[in-house]
Amino acid sequence: MLDEIDNLPEESIETLYERKTFSVDKGQEPYRIDKWVQMHLEGATRSKVQKGIEAGFLTVNGKVVKSNYKIRPGDEIVIMSLVNPEHTVLKRENIPLNIVYEDDSLMVINKPPNMVVHPGVGNFSGTLLNGVAYYLEQQNPNIDEEALPRFGLVHRIDKNTTGLIVLAKTPVAAAVLAKQFFNHTVKRKYVALVWGNIEEDEGTITGHIARHQQNRKMFDVYPEGEIGKHAITHYKVLERFNYVTLVECVLETGRTHQIRVHMKHIGHTLFNDWEYGGDRILKGTIYTKYKQFVENCFELCPRCALHARTLGFIHPVTHKEIMFESALPDDMEKLVEKWRGYMNHQNQG
């Protein structure tokens, strides 16, 4: 259940995990659940199966069981397992990490812009996980990659999104945290600068998200729900600058590019989000001075203006909720200050 994750795009945790359902045959003899699952899941080891059962990744007839549970005819077994692509060796690299919290079970890192979370096609080095692998190996030279696959990756944020990400340091912690993301119980708040003046002070965006039918690197909203996965984003206006709006977004689900796609869907594309058309003037007349101001803003924050500010979850060992906050990074802070100054100048004029 805790197998390798390699060569995948920046996906949400729902994409990393899949549910498998089994129905026990009528003639099945009593058999330990851990041995039965090991035989029915390709590549599964008994130790991984037992850790997954302990973490609650397996239910029988809707209930959590222990590894020594004896299956019975008619039992409905539901297993949540990791997608299992081919193995790739993770290169250790001495990359500076902004670790905001760490204990024996997990670490919370404040990711900078322009850093991919994990290796993949075109990004085999320089990723967050390359740095984490080196860091953990310095702590424990005998660390077992099989015991802790992908060094505890349980969720991801886009390359140009900054902010908080949690990684597990033990297999059990990885399973418990991944289950919280899968069940949408993790608290996540983002800050984004979007084009346009959002009229409502707060609101909710719903709409199924799936890959764009023409551009497979992008995603789109399919309101009818026949395509894609259900997604919910709550937003609240923090500050208005007439042409752009600073908003807080709370994720109820965690789909790929969810905030970026949902905000574009309601007509408020994220500022300088080149993939979704936010790297050009979408609001305001294109006069020379205004155009130059916006271009200066693009240079000041040369990425999608999105920051993962708040992250909260139940600790896998203490079972207490812990919350973390991350201040806006320098580029977004300077961007907001520049728009604030521009509006003050406009109002004085």
Instruction: Give the dihedral sign, CA 144/15/272/337.
Output: negative
Residue 15, pLDDT > 50, answer no
Side by side, which strands form the sheet with 58-60?
Answer: 17-23, 76-82, 58-60, 63-64
What CATH superfamily classification does 99-182 receive?
A: Pseudouridine synthase (3.30.2350.10)
Q: What is the pTM of this model?
A: 0.76
Higher pLDDT, 62 or 163: 163
Contacts 24+ apart (CB under 8 A), 325-329: 326/100, 326/110, 326/162, 326/163, 326/164, 328/191, 329/112, 329/113, 329/162
> Which of 192, 328, 181 has its CA nearest to residue 250?
192
180-204 confidence digits (pLDDT tens): 888 889 999 999 999 999 999 999 9
Query: So where are the chain's domains?
Result: 13-82, 99-182, 187-348
Mean pLDDT over 210-221 rounds to 83
Write out the CATH class of domain 13-82: alpha beta
- Of 229-233, 283-287, 324-328, the poorest mean pLDDT is in 283-287
Q: Single out the catalytic residue among 34, 75, 158, 331.
A: 158
Verify whether residue 158 is a known catalytic residue.
Answer: yes
Residue 119, pLDDT > 60, answer yes
Mean pLDDT estimate for the chain = 84
255-296 confidence digits (pLDDT tens): 889 999 999 999 999 999 999 999 999 999 878 899 999 999
Beta-bridge partner residues of 232: 206
Please name the fold of domain 187-348.
Pseudouridine synthase (3.30.2350)
User: Do 187-348 and 99-182 fall under one CATH topology?
Assistant: yes
Strands 232-240 and 202-206: antiparallel
The CA distance from 304 to 190, in Å, is 13
Instruction: Name the band, by pLDDT with cuts 50, 70 and 90, for residue 150.
Output: low
